[in-house]
Amino acid sequence: MKIGIIGGTGLGKIDGFKFISEIKFDTKYGLPSDSYKEFETEGNSFFFLSRHGKNHQFPPHLINYRANIEGFRMIGVDFIVAFAAVGGINKTLKPGDFLIPDDLVDFTNGRETSFSEVGDVFHIDFTEPFCISVRNELIKIMGNMDISFYSRGVYVCTNGPRLESAAEIKMFDRMGFDVVGMTLSPEAALAREAGICYAAVNVVSNFAAGTTKNLLTTEEVVSAVKSSEGNILKIIKSLSTIKEKDKNCKCGESIKYARFK
Ligand code: HPA
């Protein structure tokens, strides 16, 4: 299997894997955030991309999401697992918890959100934004580990790069959203348009704005992800157990039903 991994804030590289090669290319949508690093373990190839770039130079609203996903399409990955730090809105969540979101709401603006262009119109189904098969496998994998994780939750994507106001978080809470981040949209939709199975693992790095009196700092976010790094690497290693037969989703056929006849 060819497994795509997207690393977010605090996860700029993956250590402890056998390095194979560095794949650098341009795409028709421009340059991806970084080169794709190929690693190997137990006969599976991993392709790692740092979403924010080598030196964390791309803020969430200026990431070339289309190029990043196009790169994975060119490599031909079987599925992508995307890691992303989030603020916890749901009061049961605390820093250090993991969550596998099962739905998302997009509050971003001004981003390139689609591969659809003039003359190539399609509307993918997005009822379940995250691949059901990869999510189920992640739930099994993480269920076998000694970690605190939630197997579902609604992720709301803000445009950033500023963090939210207390009133915004209160509104999101009332709307039933569990975690807040700045990157899974349009990433998830582009993966679906590309027909690539895509699921996410969120690391709760902080209580969302207004739920704590403390100022939110990037240091807090990075250090929470760094403390979870050992478990993140274990999750990545365990992805090797996912086999083609485990996939019973329709992600690969997303375009088939999306175009006008
Ligand atoms: N808000 C938005 N994005 C985030 C947060 C947050 O509190 N923490 C980590 N990413």
The number of the ligand 1 atom at minimal distance from the alpha carbon of 207 is 7
**Ligand 1 centroid distance, CA of 199 (Å):** 18
Distances (CA, A) of 8 to 35, 125, 170, 222: 15, 26, 25, 10
Which residue minimizes the CA distance to atom 9 of ligand 1?
A: 86
The number of the ligand 1 atom at minimal distance from the alpha carbon of 216 is 7
pLDDT digits (tens, 9 = 90+) for 137-146: 999 999 999 8
Mean pLDDT of the chain: 95
DSSP-derived 3-state class of residue 18: strand
**Ligand 1 centroid distance, CA of 33 (Å):** 20
Highest mean pLDDT among 41-45, 66-70, 217-221 belongs to: 66-70
**Ligand 1 centroid distance, CA of 249 (Å):** 30
**Ligand 1 centroid distance, CA of 119 (Å):** 37
CB 77 within 8 A of CB 129: no
Cβ of 87 closer than 6 Å to ligand 1, yes or no, is yes
Does the pLDDT at position 11 exceed 90?
no
| Distance separating alpha carbons of residues 74 and 27, to the nearest angstrom | 9
**Ligand 1 centroid distance, CA of 36 (Å):** 25
| Distance separating alpha carbons of residues 17 and 20, to the nearest angstrom | 9
pLDDT digits (tens, 9 = 90+) for 183-207: 999 999 999 999 999 999 999 999 9
Least confident of 5-14, 32-41, 107-116, 138-147: 5-14
Cβ of 88 closer than 6 Å to ligand 1, yes or no, is no
Ligand 1 mutation target, pool 56, 214, 221, 228, most atoms within 8 A of CB: 221
Distances (CA, A) of 208 to 88, 104, 156, 162: 5, 17, 12, 12
**Ligand 1 centroid distance, CA of 81 (Å):** 19
Does the pLDDT at position 34 exceed 90?
yes
Query: Which domains are assigned to the chain?
Result: 2-257 (3.40.50.1580)
Cβ of 182 closer than 6 Å to ligand 1, yes or no, is yes
* Structure-block tokens of residue 133: 């098969």
Conformational region of residue 16, where left means phi above 0, alpha means psi within -120 to 50, and beta covers everything else: left
